[in-house]
Structure 1
């Protein structure tokens, strides 16, 4: 904003005016006011910079706006004027109210209804940039781009794509949509990003794991709420539609909806469960009207549910239980077993909403190399084999050193250019299978990996680590495909935070100044 004050005062004033009006309810006049975001001038500047210069990091933009010559390091007034001309043109599109509100309709199309369902404001700004690139640079029909952005926002919001290291992530996304042939290629590229992110393993393993939280502003919780709206679900134990009850423009003395503990807090405490993180698990909440919530109080599920259940027709009961992810006769289940079962069902409800959103536009990602192809290629800088995930084949026991070995490789790939780790394959390419690790099924092994990455490297990296199980030579093999990470990935090893990089066919540990130098060069 400082450079704008010097070289383009009018542009700075326009940004500040837009931000001010976006925070004030309209009196009937055209206004940027909305219920999703009260943007700051800096956020709208990010949108302008993204559209004009195709950059996400503001720190990298300052040199460009000063007209700095990369070869001489001196400022070039003519180059500066050219860059500001691009900014002026872009800002006109960014602050255009027709563009702004049509874009926000994409969020509604995705099932989102207001600021209370937004976990990342950056996701809104960056999706707006993509929307504007689509209509301005590629001339895409507005109805088409709104649909595509609705899909992309749903994916980005649910996965927390722009929650951690958002600038780095969006820089990478911008690089994927530069210099495409036409609007069709742009649409295809965005849908391909969605398809490669929302794999079968994401729905079956990653999302249920992300739902295992008590965080009130979890992206996965908001995705589930959006899914219920998208699928036109009724409020639990009510004929009212959820979409009609979450209008952000309506404010009463008491919220129309409350998040009801399916297993009430008072009941759980009487049963000896007093940890709020366990009581307030996302999977223990469902939206109900506030009078019903008061009436239920702290009754045991087995006491309050059967009468409500009996009042529904068989058809209504089936639909309500499906949408609200409730197992049959759930009120008689053990609480922990109920949470596990409901998380899986919640993930499938979100998946159903996603498939309803994309309709016939489903894009299949380019198939990754098969296990056979990876084995044939041998170990390289981007491919590594490991016999097991947790079992020492010499002792037959679970061994922390084996865990660490896999984590080192995953972190090394994240810190470099990405790569693929095969579990169940010996160094010489012999397929050993997964039986030595002793997991009862693929889901349990996949969840173990998710928790391992989350606890030892960090949950910010989960969207960048993709797992897939495949049969090869009569044995099961786990493929772990790692993207280039958004920031430096350290592995927790006891009290240490260790840093690994992939170089050649090996994973190498760096320490001291070497880590600082590498991180600065790799992540900026």
Structure 2
């Protein structure tokens, strides 16, 4: 117990002192923390609590004299490049306070600069998030940052505010005194007292990482990926930064070192997601719990943790991550997914399925030497099938662990292909195509994987948009920058028509089988007409062969427009399942 007491000391700060140390770069955020900035509403509540004199918690700092990865609060350079105190707990509060008091932008979880603006109404001491209405209201100070970042004295600020207010509002002496008092009270928040518990510099990095995990798990529980990212920050800070840089570039279209970019239209990856791919490829593990122990250097036989063991395991992870972040691997994999008919992030129902497919792509390309033309179609089939069947929806780590276990005894490219094709065939049986899939199409979910695979199949088959000469895959291309989406989901039996005929249940109206993709002008023209009215008119524009092909490609049968709604749905689900099967077969 006495040893534990030596880990901490208690230090009192006022807020201005804390901000000064951040200005210098003497206090910084450690990379062992997840990127996060509070919402403006939460920052507003923080200021309201401080203004009313409520306690808002303590900070936990680490006095560090060693080289470890840090990131400064705010945007811009600091006087000190190496901080002597790192924020272990209290990141959200301190970042938010610094942003408001200094009027500085911060980097949010999406790697974008963000300005936090909090408004204050001196008449009644109310805080709010700034909006257009507040900016127009002379009673509000729309951005309280000006109180501290302007460098002006409080007397001058109060005088100018009252002068502007009295142009629009008649004030009594008593009201002026209340306003002046409330502004002075707000201005003096820079003297707000804080307590910090500081971890001694003698505490090593791994202990600090453990303390961080223990403290933060009281709030939002950390998962196993967070634990491993913590280890990366302590023992391989460069690797953590590489992950973050890759993810940043994937979102912003920016380049890495002036070269190609990981930007794509299928996924905005997070560091923990790519970490899962590295762990799967490097260690053949789907469960991250055991890998956390491996990376800490645990000996499986003795249970002891050794630095040599840890260093050796990190070398494995480094090699795996290099392949995961290799842009050639990344874009070749993504081309396999696009080649399977999935053109945009809107068609990806499971990021787990996508990322695990990337791990298998790396196995095939780098470990088993599968020819690229073979691998492209194999991974396309794999992703199509795992998305369609929801393979990684329930207990994804356990399922992936079992899938990876099948690879441990194989040595050739042929065996690798056989393993994946065997799993695919075991799931996509004749009963699946004829019974299970039509039943699963009985859904109104807007993000149903069967629906996305149906559209992917139409892309693969070169299907033209219903009532149009243009193909779906061309108009669904995310590279098109238009004010209005070229395609819209159209109710084949319009909602107003169904409601007029007594069908009012939205789940029944919005069945997947009642939708088809149309160009938006066509969708507007059809409006709420009955299918027996609009369909013959539109189809009359096409010759008999074109009409027949269009109906077949969109899972519609002769006379569908005159069928009862329920009979139409049942018949179309079966035909949609057939189109999905045809699309999948095109990947063989």
Sort the TM-score into its range (normalised by shorter chain): 0.5 to 0.7
State the TM-score, normalizing by the size of structure 1. 0.67
Q: Secondary structure at the match of 1:286?
A: strand
Higher alpha-carbon Rg: 2
Of 358, 377, 389, the residue aligned with 1:159 is 389
**Deviation digits for residues 151-202 of structure 1 (CA, Å, limit 9, x no counterpart):** 1011011111112221111111111122203111001111111111111011
Q: Does residue 244 of structure 2 align to residue 16 of structure 1? A: yes
Tell me how far apart the structure 2 counterparts of residues 26 and 72 of structure 1 sit (CA, whole Å). 47
Alignment of 1:103-114 (within 5 A): 103-114=333-344
CA displacement at 1:240 relative to structure 2: 0.7
* Residue 481 (structure 1) aligns with: none
Q: Secondary structure at the match of 1:249?
A: coil
Q: Secondary structure at the match of 1:357?
A: coil
**Deviation digits for residues 331-387 of structure 1 (CA, Å, limit 9, x no counterpart):** 0000011000000000000101111111xxxxxxxxxxxxxxxxxxxxxxxxxxxxx
CA displacement at 1:271 relative to structure 2: 0.6
* Residue 86 (structure 2) aligns with: none
Q: Which runs of 5+ in 1 are unaligned?
A: 359-524
Bigger shift: 304-313 or 326-335? 304-313
Of 491, 501, 506, the residue aligned with 1:261 is 491
Tell me how far apart the structure 1 counterparts of residues 237 and 382 of structure 2 sit (CA, whole Å). 34
State the TM-score, normalizing by the size of structure 2. 0.60
Tell me how far apart the structure 1 counterparts of residues 242 and 259 of structure 2 sit (CA, whole Å). 17
Alignment of 1:26-175 (within 5 A): 26=254, 29-175=259-405
CA displacement at 1:19 relative to structure 2: 0.7
Alignment of 1:457-496 (within 5 A): none
Tell me how far apart the structure 1 counterparts of residues 424 and 301 of structure 2 sit (CA, whole Å). 38
Q: How many residues align?
A: 358
Q: Secondary structure at the match of 2:252?
A: coil
Q: Is the CA contact (8 Å cut-off) linking 2:489 and 2:516 kept in structure 1? A: yes
* Residue 326 (structure 1) aligns with: 556
CA displacement at 1:29 relative to structure 2: 4.5
Tell me how far apart the structure 1 counterparts of residues 290 and 417 of structure 2 sit (CA, whole Å). 27
Tell me how far apart the structure 2 counterparts of residues 47 and 57 of structure 1 sit (CA, whole Å). 11
CA displacement at 1:36 relative to structure 2: 0.3
CA displacement at 1:112 relative to structure 2: 0.5
Q: Is the CA contact (8 Å cut-off) linking 2:444 and 2:512 kept in structure 1? A: yes
Tell me how far apart the structure 1 counterparts of residues 400 and 393 of structure 2 sit (CA, whole Å). 11
Q: Secondary structure at the match of 1:23?
A: helix
Tell me how far apart the structure 2 counterparts of residues 236 and 26 of structure 1 sit (CA, whole Å). 37
CA displacement at 1:320 relative to structure 2: 1.1
Q: Is the CA contact (8 Å cut-off) linking 2:370 and 2:413 kept in structure 1? A: yes
Alignment of 1:183-194 (within 5 A): 183-194=413-424
CA-based RMSD of the aligned residues comes to: 1.2
4+ runs of 1 displaced by more than 3 Å?
26-29
CA displacement at 1:142 relative to structure 2: 1.9
Q: Which runs of 5+ in 2 are unaligned?
A: 1-228
* Residue 345 (structure 1) aligns with: 575
Tell me how far apart the structure 2 counterparts of residues 141 and 345 of structure 1 sit (CA, whole Å). 35
Tell me how far apart the structure 2 counterparts of residues 251 and 57 of structure 1 sit (CA, whole Å). 40
Tell me how far apart the structure 1 counterparts of residues 298 and 330 of structure 2 sit (CA, whole Å). 32
Of 506, 530, 533, the residue aligned with 1:303 is 533
Of 218, 228, 234, the residue aligned with 2:464 is 234
